[in-house]
Amino acid sequence: MGESIWGMLGSIADWIAALVAVLALIAAAKAAGYAGRLFRAEAQRDDERHDRERIEQALGVSAWVAVEISRTSGDPLSYGLVVSNTSSNVIYDVTVTATGAGGKTLPTLDMRVLPPGTYYLRESSNAYGWDFATLVTDVAAEIRPTAKAKDRAVTSLTFRDAANVRWERTPTQIAEQPTGRRSDPVDVSR
């Protein structure tokens, strides 16, 4: 019974070992918290990269109303649509709606497939409303956008990308269509 208070509480070495163990637990808990934050940041970065990759092909597809101009006389030869796919993949089920002279609705342009490239389609009186697509570089005349015309404009462009995602592009935004995972519209008016 003659044991001192120090003997009952243990040696200094035991106390130091216990203190080190507690500090190690605190450090491990802080490290786990830091690792969790790092994991969440990496997961968010991966999601953002996936979203960018998903929309990348869609951002490379566009359409506008254009005029075919004679290189010799400078006179307009025809009006039509330019449909451009600057991505490296084919797109499918392309539909373009547009307005022409006086704001009248033009026949809807429907294309089953559009390979990479920029194509001109003349307005036509045939049953389809449009001539065959021709690469802009193969058109003998000059193709110019009708950038100042208030009545001639593409109102909508829809298509399916190589990943089978359906997109709609309007003059102000591009958005994934409800057939797949819905994305937030991307403002392209800037």
75-134 pLDDT, tens digit each: 889 999 999 999 989 999 999 999 988 889 999 999 999 999 999 999 988 878 899 999
pLDDT at 2 over 90: no
Element (H, E) at 13: helix 12-59
Does 29 lie in the same domain as 64? no
pLDDT category at 3 given cuts 50, 70, 90 is: low
Does 135 lie in the same domain as 73? yes
Domain count, the chain: 2
CA distance 72 to 64: 24
Does 70 lie in the same domain as 50? no
CA distance 124 to 75: 18
CA distance 186 to 170: 10
Does 48 lie in the same domain as 71? no
Which residue(s) pair with 105 in the sheet? 99
Structural domain span for residue 18 = 5-56
Contact (Cβ atoms closer than 8 angstroms) between residue 69 and residue 144: yes
pTM for this prediction:
0.69
DSSP result, 73-136 = T--EEEEEEEEEE-SSS-EEEEEEEEE-GGGPBPPPEEEEEE-SEEEEEEB-SSTTSB---EEG
Pairing of strands 173-176, 117-122: unpaired
Output 120 or 41, whichever has higher pLDDT: 120
In this prediction, what percent of the chain has a pLDDT beyond 70? 88
pLDDT category at 156 given cuts 50, 70, 90 is: very high
> Number of C-alpha atoms within 13 angstroms, CB side, residue 184?
5
Does 164 lie in the same domain as 77? yes
Q: Which of 37-51, 59-73, 151-165 has the lowest mean pLDDT?
A: 37-51
What pLDDT was estimated at residue 172? 87
Last residue of a domain, one of 38, 56, 74: 56
Does 86 lie in the same domain as 46? no
